[in-house]
Amino acid sequence: MKLEDLKLYQECLDFEDKIWKIVNAWEGFNKDTIGVDFVKDADAISGNIAAGYGRYNFKDKKHYCYISRGFLLKTKGWLLKAKERGMIEAAESDELVENVEKIHRMLNAYIRSIGRKKEDNYERNNNYNNDSEDLNSNDEPNGNAYTASADEFFSEEEISVNA
């Protein structure tokens, strides 16, 4: 599976684009103070997911996802500050907070899936090894074959906006 096919990554990119469009409309002091950090922190969400996706071992993959989760929550903080200071309308802010919560659930599910074989069905399996010689020809050489696909760890209800 390619990074671009990961539903979590796509959701993050869409969310970050919304943040960019909001902040890009700001002017002066607002853009220079809150805006710059708001966009940088939002962009770091998908950036760290991508960095972890490119790592070979599970510990590194999870580590970058934990960093991504930190940036997600930091972005939520900027979002709440912007709403409180009247820089974002309440309805738009509430919609974005729902997006943050959706991404948070998806990211937690993704973290749980890292290191599990696709056929494990979420049962703990201590019999696998992350060595390249143990990979069969159907597995990806970068270790992502052991990461469940999005459809395996997200229910439609879990990824729907109204969840």
pLDDT value, residue 1: 81
Higher-scoring residue by pLDDT: 115, 66: 66
Whole-model pTM: value is 0.72
Whether 52 shows a pLDDT value over 50: the answer reads yes
The rounded distance, in Å, linking the Cα atoms of 125 and 53 is: 21
Domain boundaries, the chain: 3-159
Binned at pLDDT 50, 70 and 90, residue 160 comes out as low
**What stretches of 54-162 show up as alpha helix (H) in DSSP?**
58-84, 90-113, 150-153, 156-159
For 3-159, the fitting CATH number among 3.40.50.300, 1.20.1440.60, 3.30.1490.20, 3.30.360.10 is 1.20.1440.60
What mean pLDDT is predicted for residues 47-58?
Answer: 92
pLDDT single digits (tens) 103-150:
999 999 999 998 887 665 544 444 444 443 443 434 444 444 444 454
Name every residue whose Cβ is closer than 8 Å to that of residue 40 and which is 6 or more positions away in sequence: none
The Cα–Cα gap between 25 and 135 comes to: 49
Report the alpha-carbon angle 148-151-154, nearest 5: 95
